Each structure stands twice: as structure tokens, then as C-alpha cells.
Structure 1
Amino acid sequence: MTTDAAATAATGTQELPGRTKNLLLALLAFTITFWAWNLVAPLAVQYTAEMGLTSTEASLLIATPVLVGSLGRILTGAFTDRFGGRLMFTVLTAASAVPVVLVALAGVWGSYALMIAFGFLLGIAGTTFAIGIPFVNAWYEPAKRGFATGLFGAGMGGTALSSFFTPRMVAWFGYVATHLIIAGALLVVAVIVWLFMRDSPLWKPNTAPVMPKLKAASKLAVTWQMAFLYAVTFGGFVAFSTYLPTYLKEVYGYDLADAGARTAGFAIAAVIARPVGGWLSDRIGPATVLSISLSGAAVMAVVIALQPPPELAAGASFVLMALFLGLGTGAVFTWVAQRAPAERVGTVTGIVGAAGGLGGYFPPLVMGATYNAEAHSYTIGLSLLCLTALVALGFVIFLARRERRAAR
């Protein structure tokens, strides 16, 4: 592409050829790695029974991949600014196949310690989110980045696929074979990405050393503002999608397959809502969308704590919670795209994405620690979610008012 054509595309008057193909390839890689990232949670009930785990031990097992997948995004985002999305997607998608196989071995051996260790490595698969946001941003003009990054973010539906299919695949093919199939799929997608994906012609590598880039991004107010909001919205989604199979078993008595199917429904609702949140943010502003998201999440936390009866009432409650959280995740990265410097989007995304993952790491631990076994109740954990959503809502209102004053 010539310089003039690139400049024209950058102004939004001409779209870059191939951007849809590259967006879909990024979505594919993100989806399959998120499936791998969520391999432990859908089988947590099985692991708990086979290894005799306590509620706290099971919560730690579920949360461990989330931890690495969160913190790893910081470096992944910074490396993406330097090496580009094509290389980073290829390397991390292929590398994720290794811990998938190791987790299978730990399960066969019945070793809780190895499950924790290999689950830690499995977190690598969760870092790919920090690749996709700067990669997609470079392909799309600012007016369409909310929808584009929201559509890419729908790849978090990999957790839905995992929740629904992983327990069924174990029943159909066996435990080890299921993990080998996922590992093989990761390697196939890595090859496809390398062969067909291309970085945007407008993307330029930021070759500055990683640590100074992280330090510079950490000094931006937008980094920590969006990190907090993403910790609440995406963290809430991750916490529910990973812990929901256990929650549904304890509160409603569902078996592994039924709990997985309902968890998949929750994740699909959030996946659908995410690009809608980005699209709406392009039109009415991310602050407005986040206000709707957080208000709804606070209300639904109270409703879910009251344990509505299955199927219709409980199902509708969880779907509404997923929709509100999904809207918020799409809105946050529209705000990032609007406010972060173009050359630091990857680094900022890494930090914000890490915060989102960490937001999903602690709630399962809290839910496990505060679970009332006699009443089959998670009221304390859900009350804390409601309070957190309300605090975040107040913060969004504060930021929106400050931006309006600055614009005058």
C-alpha cells in the first residue's frame, strides 16, 4: 500500500483491504486459546470427586490458570507492540498446546500438585487477548474500533465452547483423547495464522525496550482507570464462566454435563453482548454503556443471591448478568482505543487485560471461602459483587463528568 493510500485509510475514508479476513483470523486464534485456557473449570467437579478436594482447593485449581493468563498479558501486550500480532498469535497459540497435554497427564496421575503447576502453565493460553486488541486497532479507523475490538473480544466465547463441549468430549472420546484433540487444534490454528494472517500496513513496531514501555504506560491515567473497570466487567465474566459449573452443582444440584451446558449459555450471552457494547459505545459513548452495564450487574447480583428457582427464573437471571457484563467489556476497550496513545495501545491493553484477568482470579477464591454449605448459599460473595459494581458505577460517572468539563 502506498503512503497516500495508507493515510487515506487512516482517516476513515477508505478501509484497508484484508482487514475483515485478519479480524476473523484473530477471532479464531483467540477463541481456540480461550477454550484451552478454560479446560480445567468444566471438569472441576470431576477433579474434586476423584482427588477428594475441599471447596477451597477446588477454587484454587479453577483460579490458577486465570492468574498466569492475567499477569502474562502485561508482557504479551508489550511484545505485540514490538513484534506484531501475526508472530505473537502464532507462537502463543502453538505454545499453548504443551500445557494442555501436561494437564491431561496430571489428571491421569491424580496429582493435585501437578494440576496446579500445569494449570499455571496453561495460563499462557489466556494471554492472547493482549495480542488481538492492538492488532485489530491497527486495521480499523477510530470510528469503528469499538465494534471491531468487540467482535474480536467475542472470542471469549471459547470459554462457552469449553464449558459445553469439554465434558461431552470426555464422555465421547475419553479424558486423554479430549486434551490431545484440543492440543492438535491449537497447532493447526497456529499454522493457519502464520500462513494467512498479516499485520496492518499502518502498524509500525515499537522497538523500545519492554520495561521502559511498561513504565511509560503505567504513568498514563487511562491505564489504571480502564484497568479497574475491566477488572470488574471482564473479571466478573471470567469468575462466573469458570466457577459457574461448581456453583450450579452446589446450589441447584446439576451434574457435570448439565452444569456445563448452562455455563455455555451464560458465556454465549456475554459473547453476543460484547460487540454490541463496542458498537453502542461508538454511538452513545462508552461511559453511558458502562453505566448501564454496571447498574444491571449490581441488580442481578442481588437477584442471583436470592436463588431464583430453575429453570426459567434462574436461567434468565444468569443470562441477564452475562449480557450486562458483556456490554461492559466491549465498552471498556472502546474507551481504551479512544484515549490511549496509538504507539502504546498494546502495552496499555496488556496491563488492562491483566487487571481483567485478575478480576476473575479472586472471586472464585472468595466464593469458595465464603460458601455456606449448610444453606447451599453464596450470598456473601454475590453481595460483594454488587458492592463492587456500584463502586465502579460511581467511578464511571466521575470520569464522564470530568471528561465533559475538560471538553468545554
Structure 2
Amino acid sequence: MTGPGTAPAPPSRGGRWIQHWDPENETFWKETGEKVARRNLYFSVLSEHIGFSVWTLWSVLVLFMGPEYGLTPADKFMLTSMVTLVGAVVRVPYTFAVAVFGGRNWTIVSAGMLLIPTVAAFTVMEPGTSFSTFLLVGLLAGVGGGNFASSMTNINAFFPLRKKGWALGLNAGGGNIGVPVIQLAALAIIGAGGGPRVLLGVYIPLIVVAAVLAALFMDNLENVKNDTGAAKDAARDAHTWIMSLLYIGTFGSFIGYSFAFGQVLQNQFGRTPLEAAYVTFIGPLLGSLIRPLGGWLADRYGGAKISLWNYVAMGVATAVLIGASMEKSLALFTAAFVVLFVLSGLGNGSTFKMIPGIFQNKALAKGLQGEAAAAYGRRLSGASMGLIGAVGALGGVGINLAFRQSFLSYGSGTGAFVAFLAFYVVCFAVTWAVYLRRTASRVPAASTASEAKPQLSYAEV
């Protein structure tokens, strides 16, 4: 029989399957679990990182595609919109794939699948290729967006509750940094006089390396199961969809602007591919690095409060962008856009941190206590995160479509920024009305416990 501090039992299904996994047991964690969990985390981050790079590949490739490719600015925004859409949609099945195939097995498969869009892009990337062909190949790159969902689900199972925040934060941040890394790689290649096929040629072997390392060093956990009941319960809960809206405002902004920033600089300010590449990576890089700070601030002051004021700051930055766009001030426009990236990253951390607290509060309102309340919160928050992550990514689709329409109608991105400002106002209003307004109404001291119980306070979530 396997003791609490012994190594995992021998595989039961062939391959690298671990039967016994009890990270909450401190003896097991210190003697065996932590080493195994960290090893799986590092190689999961590598695969997810490259997945993000492939997902945002076309935000870079369109910078290489000059007039000889025959694509209009509207065509390019449509192309990046569809890539973002596929990446958002596939997050849902990817969330469940870990339990079906095993975390290691699915990491190998999902990493290997990145070869398809990368090799396809390498094949068709030349003037004379039709827009429909570029669109089809671009859609394939959307699979890179799904790696985030499966990686987060897998790593969540390896770590104890007291370590999940650090592990998931590192996992998410390491993946997000794939966006500025591929943009930096493009900057180096453009600066050296290389073309888009050089960039693609760099990533093809990296994808193979990620899949091979996952096969050699990662593990599957026997006890990871899909809870379809929890997914249905989460889908029926209004907070799942409210938080999806708020996450559209943060992560949707981050991924949407990551795809669009370089194109806006080219189309509105006449920047060359090299000039655009010099600055496009800065915003996604800072937005990725600051995400853990958003979570830390939410831990200390409450996610709802941080998110509320973050939307205020995003609104102010967007108003500055509108002014800079109308005045054609490149320096102010670039600075404000980078600030908006930083704020989107900060908001990613604070909004995602709200989710477990919201469902924990709901458990307490139901009269649950102790481990029962914690179990309820974990079950619903875990299931809702997959849906919220998928819907949030759809914000990137909206941003690129808004830019497309704005350039078609006005010849600049100003109209799109006005729409984004209005959306951030909506996010502010929803955050205040749902998660902060109720704290102002106190239950009278003479009220009974049963009368007081429905008065939920989300200010500290």
C-alpha cells in the first residue's frame, strides 16, 4: 500500500501515469510531490509559451505583408480576428482534454499540433497567395490559443491549494510572454533583413523540442476527472457570465491589442514594419509581467476594488489615445497604448483572482462552512474559469473587428477607441453595481441571522 510520503505508485495504464497523488499531504508534498509538480509545471509553461506565440503569429506576419501581397488593412484585421476567434473557441474542448487523454499526453499532442499552422504558413507565405488561403491557414493558428486552457487545467491538479496561486500565475505569465517573444524575434529578423519564412523556420524546431521534452519529462495524473455537472452548474450561474464580461475588458483587451497594435501603427501613422516592430513588443511584455502584481493587489485590497479602479484607469488611457489619434501625435499615442497594455495585464490578475472568492462567498451564503464551503468554491470556480477564459478571449475578436470597421469608415482607429472607452465604462458600472454597491447597505443590528445571510459582500473577493 502506498504511504503518505512514498513515491507515486507504478503506472497503471501504461506510459507515465501516476496513480497516487495527494499534494495536500505535507509529507507527500515535501518528499515526492513538489519535485514532480515543478517539473511538470516548467515543461507545461514551455509548451503553452510556444502555443501563445503561434496563436499570435499572424499579428507579426501581417507586418511583413506589404503592398505586393494585395491585402487591404481591412483584410488584415479580418485575418487576425478569425485567428483570435478560433483560439477562444478551442479553449473549451482543451479544458476537458486533460482528463480524457492525460496531461502529459495532451501536452505532447497539443504541442505537436502547432506544427500544422506553422508549416502551412511557411508554405503559403509569398505574394500571389489568395486572401482566402491566408485566412484558412490563419484559422489553423488558432489552436495555439487552446494550450492555455489545457495547461492551466493540468497544472491546477498538480499543486496543493496553498501553492496554486503561485503555480497558476507562473503558468499564465509564462504563456502570455509568448506574445512579446515572437514579436521580439520578428524585430530581430526584420532588422537583419530576413523575411517571414525565417521567423517560421525558427519556430518549427522549437515546437518539436517542446513536444519531445513533454514526452520525456511530464506525467499524467490518474485522478484527474471531468466534472460535467460542475460545468453545467457554472454555466447556469450568473456570476460566470458577469465575470466573462469583465474578463473581456481585460484579457480581451490584452490579446486584441497584441494582434492589432502593429497594424494600427502601420496604417494610421505610416510606420514601416521595422519601426512598428520596435515598439509592438513593449506593451505585451509589460502586460504579461505585471499580471502577478494584479493578483497580489487583489489579495491585499480585494479584487473587485482593484478591478473597479483599473477600469477607470483604462478609460482614462483610452481617452488619451482618442486625443492622440485625433491630433496624430505618435509619441503620445504609443505611450498611452503601452499604458493600456499594462493596465490590461493588471486587470487580468485582479479579475481572475475574484472568481474563487465569489464562489466561496456563495458557499457561505448557502450556510456551508469549513471544508464543505471550500470544496463548493473550488468546484464551481474551477469549472467557471474555463468558460470565462474562453469568452474573455472573444474580446480580442471584437477589438480587431472594431478596428477593421473604424479604418473602413474613418480611415483611422479613433472610432474603435471610442467604442472601447464605452465598454470600459460598462465594465466599471457592472463591477460597482454587482460586487461593490451591496457593501454600502448594512443589515440592521437587530436583524436575525437568517435575514442577514443573503446580504453578500464581494468587496474583498
Contact 1:278-1:334 within 8 A present in 2 as well: yes
**Offset, 1:311:** 6.4
**Offset, 1:345:** 5.6
Aligned match of 1:137 in 134, 151, 156? Answer: 156
Residue of structure 2 equivalent to 1:196 = 217
**Residue identity opposite 2:346 in structure 1:** L
CA distance in 2, matches of 1:218, 1:141: 26
Q: Indicate how the Cα distance of structure 1 residues 336 and 13 shifts in structure 2: closer, same or farther if over 3 A, else same.
A: farther
Q: Indicate how the Cα distance of structure 1 residues 403 and 84 shifts in structure 2: closer, same or farther if over 3 A, else same.
A: farther
**Residue identity opposite 1:381 in structure 2:** A
Q: Indicate how the Cα distance of structure 1 residues 393 and 255 shifts in structure 2: closer, same or farther if over 3 A, else same.
A: same
**Offset, 1:359:** 0.6
CA distance in 2, matches of 1:26, 1:315: 33
- The answer to whether the aligner puts 1:7 opposite 2:28 as a matched pair is no
Matches within 5 A, 1:242-257: 242-257=259-274
Residue of structure 2 equivalent to 1:399 = 434
The CA deviation string for residues 12-70 of structure 1, in whole angstroms up to 9 with x for no partner, is 99995134443332222221111111111112143352332223211111111111100
Residue of structure 2 equivalent to 1:182 = 203
CA distance in 2, matches of 1:246, 1:364: 10
**Offset, 1:207:** 4.6
Residue of structure 1 equivalent to 2:140 = 121
Residue of structure 2 equivalent to 1:299 = 316
Contact 1:232-1:359 within 8 A present in 2 as well: yes
- The answer to whether the aligner puts 1:160 opposite 2:180 as a matched pair is yes
The CA deviation string for residues 77-107 of structure 1, in whole angstroms up to 9 with x for no partner, is 1223444433322211111111111122222
Contact 1:55-1:369 within 8 A present in 2 as well: no
Residue of structure 2 equivalent to 1:280 = 297
Residue of structure 2 equivalent to 1:367 = 403
The CA deviation string for residues 307-360 of structure 1, in whole angstroms up to 9 with x for no partner, is 177665334312211111001111222223445653566643332121122110
Aligned match of 1:228 in 222, 245, 250? Answer: 245
Residue of structure 1 equivalent to 2:347 = 328
CA distance in 2, matches of 1:364, 1:358: 10
Identity among equivalent pairs (%): 24
CA distance in 2, matches of 1:290, 1:2: 44
Contact 1:100-1:122 within 8 A present in 2 as well: yes
Residue of structure 2 equivalent to 1:355 = 391
Residue of structure 1 equivalent to 2:120 = 102
Contact 1:106-1:112 within 8 A present in 2 as well: no
Q: Indicate how the Cα distance of structure 1 residues 70 and 188 shifts in structure 2: closer, same or farther if over 3 A, else same.
A: same
Residue of structure 1 equivalent to 2:367 = none
Residue of structure 1 equivalent to 2:416 = 381
TM-score (norm 2): 0.79
Query: Mean alpha-carbon deviation: is it higher for 300-309 or for 170-179?
Result: 170-179
CA distance in 2, matches of 1:6, 1:59: 45
Aligned-pair RMSD on alpha carbons?
A: 3.0
The CA deviation string for residues 257-293 of structure 1, in whole angstroms up to 9 with x for no partner, is 2212211001111011111112222222221221232
Residue of structure 1 equivalent to 2:68 = 50
Q: Indicate how the Cα distance of structure 1 residues 51 and 346 shifts in structure 2: closer, same or farther if over 3 A, else same.
A: farther
Contact 1:136-1:149 within 8 A present in 2 as well: yes
Higher helix share: 1
Q: Indicate how the Cα distance of structure 1 residues 206 and 83 shifts in structure 2: closer, same or farther if over 3 A, else same.
A: same
**Offset, 1:221:** 3.1
Contact 2:250-2:344 within 8 A present in 1 as well: yes
**Offset, 1:9:** 4.3
**Residue identity opposite 2:428 in structure 1:** L
CA distance in 2, matches of 1:284, 1:51: 51
**Residue identity opposite 1:385 in structure 2:** F
**Residue identity opposite 1:277 in structure 2:** G
CA distance in 2, matches of 1:231, 1:213: 22
Aligned with 1:206: secondary structure?
A: coil
The CA deviation string for residues 104-149 of structure 1, in whole angstroms up to 9 with x for no partner, is 2222352211111111111001111112222333344445534432
Aligned with 1:307: secondary structure?
A: helix
CA distance in 1, matches of 2:436, 2:208: 48
CA distance in 1, matches of 2:43, 2:296: 20
Contact 1:146-1:337 within 8 A present in 2 as well: no
CA distance in 2, matches of 1:396, 1:2: 47
Contact 1:143-1:282 within 8 A present in 2 as well: no
CA distance in 2, matches of 1:398, 1:74: 29
- The answer to whether the aligner puts 1:237 opposite 2:257 as a matched pair is no
Aligned with 1:123: secondary structure?
A: helix
Contact 1:134-1:349 within 8 A present in 2 as well: no
CA distance in 2, matches of 1:133, 1:222: 21
Residue of structure 1 equivalent to 2:425 = 390
Contact 1:78-1:214 within 8 A present in 2 as well: no
Aligned match of 2:189 in 169, 176, 183? Answer: 169
**Offset, 1:223:** 2.3
TM-score (norm 1): 0.88
Q: Indicate how the Cα distance of structure 1 residues 320 and 359 shifts in structure 2: closer, same or farther if over 3 A, else same.
A: same
